[in-house]
Structures are given as C-alpha cells and as structure tokens.
Amino acid sequence: MFFFNRWLRDGWLIALLLLISGNVLSQKTIPDGTEGEILEVVKADTVLHEKWRDKRWRLFPGKYSSLKFGAGFLYEFAGYSQNAAGRQQMDSIGSPLESMFDVRDLRLTASGQFKTKRLFTWKAGFMYNGDTREWLVRETGFMIGVPELWGNFFIGRTKEGFSLNKVMNGYAGWTMERQMALDIIPILADGIKWLGFLPKQKIFWNIGVYANWLSKNQTFSTYDWQWASRVGWLPLYSQTDHTVLHVGLSYRYGEPENEAIKVRSRPEANPAPYFINTDEFTSSHSNHFGIEVYYSNGPWMFGSEVYSHQFNSSETGNPSFTGGEVMASYILTGESRPYNVTTAIYGFVPVSRPVFKGGPGAWEVLVRASALDLTEGTLQGGKFWRITPMVNWYLSKDVRLEVAYGYGVLERFNLKGATQFFQSRLQLTLL
C-alpha cells in the first residue's frame, strides 16, 4: 500500500509519458544520454538510423515518439580500519562501522523524442535505493528546445544545476561518490530549468526555480522552494585536440521546509553512517556559493570545486559551512573523457578496445582530496577530510570496476579519529 500511494503521488508523469509513447515514434535513434540532461539525446555528432530497433535492442521508433529503455546497477563493498579515537567517535554517533557488500543503486529508465519540428524530448526514471530499500521516482520530465532563447527548457523532476559534478550522471563520475560539500544540496527537485549556450562566446548557463508541492515527504525534499543557477565560460575548447578549460560559478537560494534544516554527510562511502552531522536547527533561508574549474587535455584531467553554504539562523550564530575538493586523473590507455558544451558537463569515458573484443579496456588512475567543516557558531557537526587514490577499469562502455583506498580524519566529540577505507564497486550500465 505504501508503494501504491507513492506511485499515485509521484508516478503520474511516468504514466503519462508511457501512454504518450504507446505508438512510439520517430525515425531517430536516441544516443546515450546523461542522467542530468535530456538534451543529450540530440548530440550533433549522433548518427541517425531508420530502424525499428537499434543494434542494442533498446530503441523502438514509432508514429509519435521513440522509446528507448535503459538501466543501471551498482554493487559495492566497503571495509574500514580505525584507530582507537575513531572507534570511540563511532560509539558516540551510535553506529559502529561494519564492512559489507551491498546494492548501491538499481535504476530503470525510459526516454524518447517526439516527432515534432521543435526539439521535444522526454525521460522517465525509477531507482531502487539500496540504502533505504525502496523504489523512488527519479529524473522525469520534458525538454523543449527554444532556440529563440539560445537553449532549452526542462520541466519536471531533475537536478537543480548547482555544480558540474552534481549535475552530471552519477554513473559517469570519476569517483565512487561526490564530494562531501555537495551533500548539502538536494540531489533532485521539481520545477523548471532554462539551459543555454552561446557557441561564439562559449558561455553557458542554467537557471531553475523549484518547489516541493509534488515531492513533499521525499528524502531529497528539504526545502519549500529554491532557485539555483550556474554560469560559466570555456576559455579553451578544442574538440579535435580534446582540450577543455572550464570555469563556472554557482549560486543557490532556498527556504528550508518548516524553517528547519539538518546538514550532514557520509565520508564518501555510502554504507557508512553520517560522520558529520549538525542535527536539526532553525533557518529561514540559505545562500550557497560555488566555484568550479576543470582542465582536460587528452587523457589528463584536473579539477576543483569549492563551496560555501550560509544559513540564516540567529539561534545558532548564522553558520557558514565550507568545503571542497581537488582531483587529478590520467587515463593510461589514452582515451579522453568527452565534454558536452551544450550542458557543460563531462560524459562517459569511451573505451577504444573493450575487454570483450580482446582489448585491455580503458584504465584510469586518479587521486582526490576533499573536506567539509560543519562546526560553526553553536553547531558542532564536526570536520572531516579525506584523501582517495583509486583505479577505474572500464572493461567496456557498459561495464566498470572501481577500486579505492581512502584515508580520512574526523574532528568531533573532542577527538581526532582516523579511518582507512577499502572500497570496490561493480557498475553495469545500459544508458
């Protein structure tokens, strides 16, 4: 009954999309997209086929709209080793660390493009959350091309657009989990977003306004309403040389639901408890500021994102929480991580010689340092930093194996505890 009620509340748009696609469409195939932006279905370099099914059996053209199915699956292991202070901190949190194998994520998607003169696409998604053991409605909505305004409008449930790493497909990310400072921003929101790009000036932007009237009681719905923006510039961009210099700024304003908020983060290991946590405090509104810089040249990639989260809360001293990351990556087998100028995000690593065709796959080595401080004013949420070297082995476009080691230090409960992380993940995708 619980799932049925949730379906009635959140699944109305899914049902509408599937009904519309009953006579599924056009004579255009839908290439691999990103979780964040339906616009990916019309990449300029996509080869269009006039077939009832593509070679991967997942695309069905029809009279009004195409229909493409997709799926993703994450299965992971996390193990830990702590010093005495670290174990004592976990006792204070009330959740000692336990090594485990677990399903991180299972998602099913459907997408399509309507047979209209104006770009008009749709997407629907369900996700099984291994943490909460429940099915959720994820990114679902419509993308409408508006070249008169240099871009497109998305209407529905999507990512707000704050941070490159937050917007891009989680399956395409270079690390297992996004940095801790991004946990303060909800993963999804319901509303409308305008995405634009000026090719001559190489300026991009997205601006969105969101409310929780459809997503009330969802775990990500912690604000009554919010608006978020990201604007940036590409000082360097060469598709031929695979060179990108990306600079972006993000700003977000939000009003927490019931004028109360809880800020917390896991230590970039999903099976672990929340290492840092302010508990609930009153706040009428919040302002969030961020800067992101990425440079990639062939197999090399360097990046950093830094954020400040400021909450209006006279009772707690108007806290301002800061955090960020810096990373470096190198793909040993020579592939280059693709960058999409229209959505201003990186995509999936291509695999030149897949293992299943006798090749080595694609091998990537990287290191990341990240930190978040939730001790401010009267709040003692704790400080945590972590360094993570890891290896990604892309056996094919659809199969990826990740192995990571992490070393982190938590300052909380008047203790400074160290934790070593041993993590691995198997990722399967048909996106």
State residue 26's pLDDT score. 32
Q: Which DSSP helix (H) or strand (E) runs through 391?
A: strand 379-394
198 Cβ contact list (under 8 Å, min separation 6): 150, 204
Residue 27 lies in a domain: no
Arithmetic mean of pLDDT, 206-212:
94
The packing angle between helices 12-20 and 2-10, to 10°, is: 60
pTM, two decimals, is: 0.86
Instruction: Please report whether residue 76 resides in a domain.
Output: yes
Q: What is the mean pLDDT of the chain?
A: 88
Structure confidence at residue 3 (pLDDT): 36
Q: Quick check: 184 pLDDT over 80?
A: yes
pLDDT in tens, 352-384: 999 999 999 999 999 999 999 999 999 999 999
* Residue range(s) defining the domain that contains residue 229: 72-430
Alpha-carbon distance of 81 to 420, in angstroms, equals 5
> Does residue 49 register a pLDDT over 70?
no
Cα separation, 205 vs 191, in Å, equals 17
Specify the pLDDT at position 55.
52
Give domain status of residue 14, yes or no: no
Q: What is the CATH number of the domain that holds 381?
A: 2.40.160.10
Residue 25 lies inside a defined structural domain of this protein? no
For residues 172-183, average pLDDT: 96
Identify the weakest region by mean pLDDT among 4-13, 158-167, 207-216.
4-13
Distance between alpha carbon 392 and the CA centroid of its chain, in Å? Answer: 18
Give dist(CA 289, CA 287) in Å, integer: 7
Closest CA to 305 of 171, 176, 159, 181: 181
What integer pLDDT is reported at residue 197 of this predicted model?
Answer: 95
Listed residue (398, 33, 38, 95) closest to 267, CA to CA: 95
In eight-state DSSP terms, residue 33 is: -
57 in a structural domain: no
Q: What is the pLDDT of residue 220?
A: 84
Q: Does 12 reside within a domain?
A: no
Q: Flag whether 15 is in a domain.
A: no
Q: For the chain, what percent of residues have pLDDT higher than 90?
A: 78
Over residues 29-48, the pLDDT tens digits come to 333 344 343 444 333 333 33
- Residue 401 Cα distances to 299, 367, 391, 392, 428, angstroms: 19, 16, 8, 6, 9
Q: What is the DSSP letter of 350?
A: P
Residue 165 belongs to what H/E stretch?
Answer: helix 164-167
Q: pLDDT for 50-84, tens place per residue?
A: 444 445 567 888 889 999 999 999 999 999 999 99
Any domain includes 37: no
> What is the tally of structural domains in the chain?
1
